[in-house]
Amino acid sequence: MESRNYAKLIEASKSAHEKWRLVPAPQRGEIIRNFGNEIRNQKVELAKTITEEARKIVTEAEGEVQEAIDMCDFATGLSRQLYGLTMPSERPDHRLQEIWQPLGIVGCITAFNFPMAVFAWNFCLAAVCGNSIIWKPSPHSNKCADALKNIWDKVTQEHKDLVIVLKGGNEEAVAICEDKNIQLVSATGSTQMGKELAPIVAARLGRTLLELGGNNAAIICPTADLDLTVKGITFSACGTTGQRCTTLRRAFVHVDIYDQFMEKLHGYYASLKIGDPSDESSQLGPLISESSFNTMQSILESLKKKDVVVHGGQRLEVGDPKEFYVMPAIVEVSEIEEEMLNETFAPILYVKKFTDLKDAIHMQNNVRQGLSSSIFTNDFRESELFLSSEGSDCGIANVNIGTSGAEIGGAFGGEKDTGGGRESGSDAWKAYMRRVTATVNYGSELPLAQGVEFDES
């Protein structure tokens, strides 16, 4: 990377922020609304670009564009709701108040699997809050980045540099992390990536917002509606060919319904349509790369060596022969295997029996990651336990829904090795701002807080 070019981009981003922060938030919201409307107009073409690059099936690609549109709508609404609290002051004739101000430049590093939505989560919030953004997309999805950047430029020439796309790989990601001009680095990717990048930002006391690996589990209880459950489990485990951070990787099934559940699950898996993602009937496209395929195979091989029962997982001769289509794997385990503790970015679902719900919750939580979790039950005592402080330790906890496919309205992110960041809905916008506590004295005396006296007498 040419450092002179990089410096120019940063300068442009800084000036864009300095101009943009003066635009009243509701007017910023209006421009973001126009951005959303143009994305709406181009929904089908944008989805095609996602399918072309990330190899997502049509309905998921369109769903992803919809997620970006929803974020624009959300940010437009937020533009009139960037509320600061007012607290009662302990001093007479004083006002105590919080004011939220933009940070400056937000660095945004995104992964191949959500090449538009995760940018939208970050950009829409960063922008409505008054920041500019430097976006480093995954090298797999540069066209997706270009497509959104072109729409932004079309919507506003004046604030064009509010979005700057910095294409590249590790070197560019490190440059963003090292750069003290970038107040917040929001990064989505593996835990390994987060562990490498976060210390670089921390060394300059910068802020990070991390959305890293998941190792999501579902607990299936005896009262669960099994048809609904199997559908939810299959979508979460196989959707996006197992390449979502929210993909379901582990299922704990109550012993009383285990056989019945497994029979239905195998039946559902056998009916999956795997093939060219641009063919509307396909439910699963290929893995993103040969190296993903190799990683998946080596995990399955190491399980087979231990005589663990592995169903599926093999390469399929469908679609383009240069690509890697697989039968999603179901792995039946009788004890916790080492392989289950790590996130393999491929459709491998581990299934284990349980008898006691508290044990199942313990197994679910007993991994380093903490993104998403689900319980399938019609017994409210079980679902309430799952949602209590003794329950799931994840950032996302669902009842009778799979682990993936969150709506934008909630805060998105997870605990432990998932990185602790929250993006998208609720009050996640606060991460993109700095909080100013302002005390205003409108009286003619100068009383000090905590009753401190500082008079000459």
Stretches 75-83, 299-307, 322-330, 399-407: which one binds ligand UN1 (CB under 6 A)? 399-407
Stretches 39-47, 85-93, 243-251, 274-282: which one binds ligand UN1 (CB under 6 A)? 243-251
Q: Are 194 and 343 in contact (CB under 8 A)?
A: no
Q: How far is it, in rounded angstroms, from Cα 411 to Cα 355?
A: 33
- Selecting among 72, 144, 177, 245, the annotated active-site residue is 245
Q: What minimum distance in Å lies between the beta carbon of 264 and ligand UN1?
A: 23
In sequence order, what E strands does 145-204 have?
A: 163-165, 182-188
181-240 residues in contact with ligand UN1 (CB under 6 A) are 188
Contact string (CB under 6 A) for ligand UN1, positions 172-191, x = contact = ----------------x---
Tokens describing residue 99? 């004011």
Q: How far is it, in rounded angstroms, from Cα 413 to Cα 411?
A: 7
Return the number of the residue (138 or 246) whose C-beta is nearest ligand UN1: 246
Q: How far is it, in rounded angstroms, from Cα 110 to Cα 148?
A: 14
Tokens describing residue 267? 């039946």
Return the number of the residue (17 or 136) whose C-beta is nearest ligand UN1: 136
Q: What minimum distance in Å lies between the beta carbon of 189 and ligand UN1?
A: 9
Return the number of the residue (55 or 244) whose C-beta is nearest ligand UN1: 244
245 is catalytic: yes
Phi, psi of 394 (to 5 degrees): -90, 165
**DSSP secondary structure code for residue 184 in this structure:** E
Among 194, 285, 405, 414, binds ligand UN1 (CB under 6 A): 405
Q: How far is it, in rounded angstroms, from Cα 319 to Cα 285?
A: 9
Return the number of the residue (6 or 114) whose C-beta is nearest ligand UN1: 114
Return the number of the residue (113 or 132) whose C-beta is nearest ligand UN1: 113
Residue 99: name the closest of 113, 87, 83 by CA.
83
Contact string (CB under 6 A) for ligand UN1, positions 62-101, x = contact = -----x----------------------------------
Residue 196: CB partners within 8 Å, gap ≥ 6?
Answer: none
Among 39, 120, 166, 406, binds ligand UN1 (CB under 6 A): 406
Return the number of the residue (17 or 244) whose C-beta is nearest ligand UN1: 244
109-148 residues in contact with ligand UN1 (CB under 6 A) are 113-114, 118
Tokens describing residue 365? 């939580």
Closest residue to ligand UN1 using C-beta atoms: 406
Return the number of the residue (357 or 428) whose C-beta is nearest ligand UN1: 428
Tokens describing residue 52? 């072309």
Question: Rule CB under 6 A: is residue 250 a binding residue for ligand UN1?
Answer: no
* Number of DSSP helices (H) and strands (E) in the chain, helices first: 13, 19
Q: Are 32 and 124 in contact (CB under 8 A)?
A: yes
Q: What minimum distance in Å lies between the beta carbon of 64 and ligand UN1?
A: 8
Among 404, 413, 417, 425, binds ligand UN1 (CB under 6 A): 404
Q: What minimum distance in Å lies between the beta carbon of 245 and ligand UN1?
A: 4
Residue 46: CB partners within 8 Å, gap ≥ 6?
Answer: 39, 65, 68, 116, 144, 147, 148
288-307 residues in contact with ligand UN1 (CB under 6 A) are none
* 339 C-beta neighbours (distance < 10 Å), count: 18
2 is catalytic: no
Size of the site for ligand UN1 (CB under 6 A): 11
User: Is 334 exposed, middle or buried (CB count within 10 Å of its CB: 0-12, 13-18, 19+)?
Assistant: exposed
Return the number of the residue (238 or 333) whose C-beta is nearest ligand UN1: 238
Q: How far is it, in rounded angstroms, from Cα 13 to Cα 18?
A: 9
- Selecting among 38, 60, 64, 211, the annotated active-site residue is 211
Q: How far is it, in rounded angstroms, from Cα 106 to Cα 301?
A: 42
* 86 C-beta neighbours (distance < 10 Å), count: 11
Q: Are 165 and 145 in contact (CB under 8 A)?
A: yes
Tell me which residues touch ligand UN1 (CB under 6 A): 67, 113-114, 118, 188, 244-246, 404-406
Q: What residues are labeled active site?
A: 211, 245
